[in-house]
Structure 1
Amino acid sequence: MKLFSQLRWFFVLEWKRYLGAVTLLIVIAMLQLLPPKLVGIIVDGITHQQMSGRTLLLWISLIVGTAVVIYLLRYVWRILLFGASYLLAVKLRNNFYNQLSRQHPNFYLRHRTGDLIARATNDVDRVVFAAGEGVLTLVDSLVMGCAVLIIMSIEISWQLTLLSLLPMPIMAIFIKRYGDELYNRFRVAQAAFSLLNDRTQESLTSIRMIKAFGLENYQSKLFSDVAIDAGNKNMHVAKVDARFDPTIYLAVACANMLAIGGGSWMVINNQLTLGQLTSFVMYLGLMIWPMLALAWMFNIVERGSAAYSRIASLLTEAPEVVDGELSLPPGRGVLELNIIRFDYPPAEKPVLENIQARLEPGKTLGLCGPTGSGKSTLLALIQRQFDVTQGEICYHSLPLSQIKLDEWRARMSVVSQMPFLFSASIAENIALGNPSVSQDEIERAAALACVHEDILNLSQGYQTEVGERGVMLSGGQKQRIAIARALLMESEILILDDALSAVDGRTEYQILQNLRGWGQNRTLIISAHRLSGLLHASEILVLQDGKVAQRGTHSELAEQMGWYRNMYRYQQLEAALDE
């Protein structure tokens, strides 16, 4: 029952729908009390031969009319109630997506993709089902059960009613115990489902690698183990679930036995008429649904509560990077880096130390250094995926920590070494950040990224579907399409995180030349292992062990003793040997 308290915010938000549905449920419950009463009148009238055929037809017509009205009202309340629960699904999933979009890399280290998908789909469905069917069964069972009890006690016999309800307290104790056990087992089952979902997602996304290494049987065994474990845990849930109905039916059978036995004795002793006993048994039949509904309600609400607790644990998790409150002024600004220290918690060793740089509009900053030197971390700090431990990064002289995240990230475009392409056409992927652009603008951006000719050679040109994650394209084509996508956004800052690693040297040179013309008055940050991509950078930072080991232009660094000159000469020799 805790779920209804947890969803109080939604019930308040959609109170009109729920109030209308509950009102109709009460009206329906009252109308359902009429047929047993009318049947009792008919039985007594026929038994005593005091009812004419016309009167009998009138009572039967009233019963049929009541059934038709109940049918129509049920149709209306279903639209109201389940319409509201579907809105809950939309709100929960929107909140869930917004929460995921606010989170940062550490969050995704703790939560796997399959688990997040399971919470956004299966868990939300359970909560929505509880908010719809759960509310229905709760109101319907309480209103119907209380109304029937009142009618049975007042109109017929309170003694017989009390006798018939003797099994109910025992049933309630068992139902409560089953509900608590179901909650715990269902949480475990949902966690197993998340693991199964995650295993499925990993297997599908890495199927090419699995086949390349001949790991099909090994992966099938791993998947089978997870699937069997999930099946076993769901079977534990089913075993608890299976106890509800037998317990209720046994209680109902005992209640009917006591009602018929006690009622027959009262008819023999002239304390009840046969018609009254008939009505009482019919009313008792109406009690079967409230009791079944109550047990069912406990079942689905406990499942929904377990699912909601899994969703709420993510929705209440505060993002590590807190949004700022300041808006950026219009126009291009100066990007200033003053990083005294940055470390990933809970590590104590700093990843970056004493990084200072000033980048004006129209300038290019190059980043290079050995693997693990801190280049990607520095770019992550500029994107504000993390906050600087000591020091600050400023734009327009405003610290990034005080700037609204959406506004800051709208000022930049980022192309990573492993770009992500959606399962859509090439044109849709390029226009992702600016869907309203024309085909000519898309092709112009593709030409700047030197991928226009490659696209025209594909079967359907710009309308070619790239498949999931761009599976039908080469690494270099994916990188260039991602660059075209970034260029089309016309951002003030363009970040290339080793985004030309899969491109040949001639194509790389042409793209960089195009970027020099495109990037006038724009800030360009290039991280690269291949130093030929940094030849025209305004300033190059050589990072080693998280510190700036060298800095200057290409010509300056090529003359200095150190890592840059050694690596540049090595790459030149390698290129000469390749030729």
Structure 2
Amino acid sequence: MRLFAQLAWYFRREWRRYLGAVVLLIIIAILQLLPPKLVGVIVDGVTHDAMSAATVMKWIGVMLLIAVMVYLLRYVWRIFLFGASYQLAVELRDDFYRQLSRQHPAFYLRHRTGDLIARSTNDVDRVVFAAVEGVLTLVDSLVMGCAVLVVMSTQISWQLTLLALLPMPIMAIVIKHYGTQLHQRFKGAQAAFSSLNDQAQESLTSIRMIKDFGLEDYQSNRFAAVAEDAGQKNMHVARVDARFDPTIYIAVGFSHLLAVGGGSWMIIQGTLTLGQLTSFVMYLGLMIWPMLALAWMFNIVERGSAAYGRIRQLLNEAPVVADGEALLPSGRGNLEVDVRAFAYPQQPRPVLDRVAFTLAPGNMLGLCGPTGSGKSTLLALILRHYDLDDGEIRFHGLPLATLNLDSLRQRFAVVGQTPFLFSDTVANNIALGNPGATLAQIQHAARLASVHDDITRLPQGYETQVGERGVMLSGGQKQRIAIARALLLDAEILVLDDALSAVDGRTEHHILQNLKRWGEKRTLIISAHRLSALTEADEILVLQQASVAQRGSHGALASQAGWYRDMFRYQQLEAALDEDPVKGEMTIG
């Protein structure tokens, strides 16, 4: 029953729909009480030869009319009740998606994709089902049960009613015990379903790697083990679930036995007629549904409560980075970075230490250094995926912590190391951030990213479906489409986080030249392992061991001893060998 308290906010808001459904259920319950009474009247009338055939047909017609009315009213209350539940599903999923979109990388380190999908689909379905069927069965069973009890007690015999209901308290205690067991076991079953969902998602997204390494049997065995665990936990739920109906039918069976036995004795004593006993047994038959409904309600409500607890656990999790209120002014401004120290949560060792620079509008900043030196972390801090513990970053003179996140991120266009493409057309992927862009604007962005010619060679050109995650495109094509997507945003600052790693040197040169012309008044931040991408930068920061080891222009860094000069010469030699492999073999020999 906890679920009704948990969803009280929704019931209060949608009280009109629920009240309408409850009123109709009460009317239906009252109408259903009439046929057993009429049957008793007909039986006594026919038994005592006091009722004509026309009268019998009239009462039968009344019962048929009641049946039609009950059918129509049930149709109407279902519209009220199910309409409210579907609206609840929309709101829960909308809140869930909004919560996921507000979270930052630390959140996704704790929660796996399969688990999040399971909570947003399966758990929401359980909550919605309980919200509609739980309310229905609770009201229907209480109204019908109480109405039947009143009629049985006042119109027939309260002594026989009390005798027939003796097994019910015992049944209620047993059902409550089953409900507690079901709640705990269903939570475990849902967690197992999340693991199963996650295993399937990982296997499908990495299917190429699995085939390349010949791991099909290994992954199948892993999946079978997870599926077996999920099956066992669901069997634990099913074992409890299977006890509800037999318990109810045994209790109802004893009630009928007591009713028939006691009623027969009362007929012999002359305190009850055969028609009254017939009506009583029919009314007792109507009690089967309330008993079954209450047990079913305990079942689905406990499942819904467990599912709602899993949903609220995520919805109540506050983002690590709190949203600010200040809005950025129009125009372009300086980006001032002063990172004195930054370490990831649960990691005491700093990832960045004493990194400071100022980036003026229209300038280009280059970031380079060995793998793991902190380049991507620095970009994550600028985009405020994490907050600084020691230091401050200011944009347009305002601290990032005070800025509205949407206002901040609208000023940035970012291309990451591993670009993501949706299962859509090439044109729609490029226009992701600017859905209203024309085809001419999309093509212009594609030309700047040196991918227009590649797109025109695709089967349907810009209308070609790229498949899930852009599966039909090469790594270089995906990177350039992602760059075109960023350029179409026309943002104040363009961030390329090693976004040219999958393109050849000539294409990289063309893209950089295009970006130079495109970004005359725009700010550009490029993080790269290939140093040829940074030759046009106004300032280059060389990060080593979490701090700035060197800084300056390409010319200055290429002429002074250090990591930058060594790596630049190595890459030049590597490029020369790639261009002239025969000469390279002779030199090596």
TM-score calculated relative to the size of structure 2: 0.97
Amino acid at match of 1:434: N
Q: Which residue of 2 aligns with 1:404?
A: 404
- Give, in whole Å, the separation in 1 of the partners of 2:65 and 2:74: 14
Amino acid at match of 2:384: R
Matches within 5 A, 1:384-395: 384-395=384-395
Which whole-Å deviations, capped at 9, do the CAs of 1:4-30 have from their partners, x for residues lacking one?
101111111211111111111111111
Q: Which residue of 2 aligns with 1:416?
A: 416
Matches within 5 A, 1:130-209: 130-209=130-209
CA drift at 1:179: 0.5
- Give, in whole Å, the separation in 1 of the partners of 2:35 and 2:382: 73
Which whole-Å deviations, capped at 9, do the CAs of 1:219-239 have from their partners, x for residues lacking one?
111111111111111111101
- Give, in whole Å, the separation in 2 of the partners of 1:142 and 1:537: 76
Q: Which residue of 1 aligns with 2:357?
A: 357
1:378 aligns to 2:378 (yes or no):
yes
1:316 aligns to 2:316 (yes or no):
yes
- Give, in whole Å, the separation in 2 of the partners of 1:267 and 1:328: 88
- Give, in whole Å, the separation in 1 of the partners of 2:44 and 2:492: 89
CA drift at 1:452: 0.4
Q: Which residue of 2 aligns with 1:578?
A: 578
- Give, in whole Å, the separation in 1 of the partners of 2:551 and 2:229: 56
Amino acid at match of 1:393: I
Q: Which residue of 2 aligns with 1:484?
A: 484
CA drift at 1:493: 1.1
Q: Which residue of 2 aligns with 1:295?
A: 295
Q: Which residue of 1 aligns with 2:585?
A: none
Which whole-Å deviations, capped at 9, do the CAs of 1:451-503 have from their partners, x for residues lacking one?
00001111111111111111111000000000001111111111100000000
Q: Which residue of 2 aligns with 1:458?
A: 458
CA drift at 1:373: 0.6
Q: Which residue of 2 aligns with 1:18?
A: 18
1:75 aligns to 2:110 (yes or no):
no
- Give, in whole Å, the separation in 1 of the partners of 2:331 and 2:44: 90
Matches within 5 A, 1:187-266: 187-266=187-266
1:524 aligns to 2:524 (yes or no):
yes
- Give, in whole Å, the separation in 2 of the partners of 1:16 and 1:384: 44
CA drift at 1:57: 2.2
Amino acid at match of 2:457: N
Q: Secondary structure at the match of 1:541?
A: strand
Q: Secondary structure at the match of 1:393?
A: strand
Q: Which residue of 1 aligns with 2:566?
A: 566
Which whole-Å deviations, capped at 9, do the CAs of 1:167-200 have from their partners, x for residues lacking one?
0011011101111111111111111111000000
- Give, in whole Å, the separation in 2 of the partners of 1:182 and 1:407: 47
Amino acid at match of 1:296: W
**Higher alpha-carbon deviation: 15-24 or 524-533:** 15-24
Q: Secondary structure at the match of 2:203?
A: helix
- Give, in whole Å, the separation in 1 of the partners of 2:517 and 2:34: 84
Q: Which residue of 1 aligns with 2:502?
A: 502
Q: Which residue of 1 aligns with 2:367?
A: 367
Which whole-Å deviations, capped at 9, do the CAs of 1:70-107 have from their partners, x for residues lacking one?
10000011111011111111111111111111111111
Amino acid at match of 2:372: G
Amino acid at match of 2:446: A
- Give, in whole Å, the separation in 1 of the partners of 2:371 and 2:195: 33
Q: Secondary structure at the match of 2:465?
A: coil
**Higher alpha-carbon deviation: 118-127 or 328-337:** 328-337
- Give, in whole Å, the separation in 2 of the partners of 1:251 and 1:329: 73
Amino acid at match of 2:28: I
**Higher alpha-carbon deviation: 287-296 or 546-555:** 546-555
Q: Secondary structure at the match of 2:490?
A: coil
CA drift at 1:310: 0.7
Q: Which residue of 2 aligns with 1:54?
A: 54
Q: Which residue of 2 aligns with 1:120?
A: 120
Q: Which runs of 5+ in 1 are unaligned?
A: none
- Give, in whole Å, the separation in 1 of the partners of 2:427 and 2:358: 36
1:280 aligns to 2:280 (yes or no):
yes
Amino acid at match of 1:375: K
CA drift at 1:518: 1.1
Amino acid at match of 1:35: P
The number of residue pairs the alignment matches comes to: 579
Amino acid at match of 1:486: A
Amino acid at match of 2:242: A
- Give, in whole Å, the separation in 2 of the partners of 1:225 and 1:78: 41
Q: Which residue of 2 aligns with 1:535?
A: 535
Which whole-Å deviations, capped at 9, do the CAs of 1:40-92 have from their partners, x for residues lacking one?
11111111222223322221111111111110000011111011111111111
- Give, in whole Å, the separation in 2 of the partners of 1:13 and 1:323: 28
Which whole-Å deviations, capped at 9, do the CAs of 1:388-442 have from their partners, x for residues lacking one?
1111111111111110111111111110111000011111111111111111111
CA drift at 1:562: 1.0
Which whole-Å deviations, capped at 9, do the CAs of 1:108-148 have from their partners, x for residues lacking one?
11111001111111111100100011110011011110110
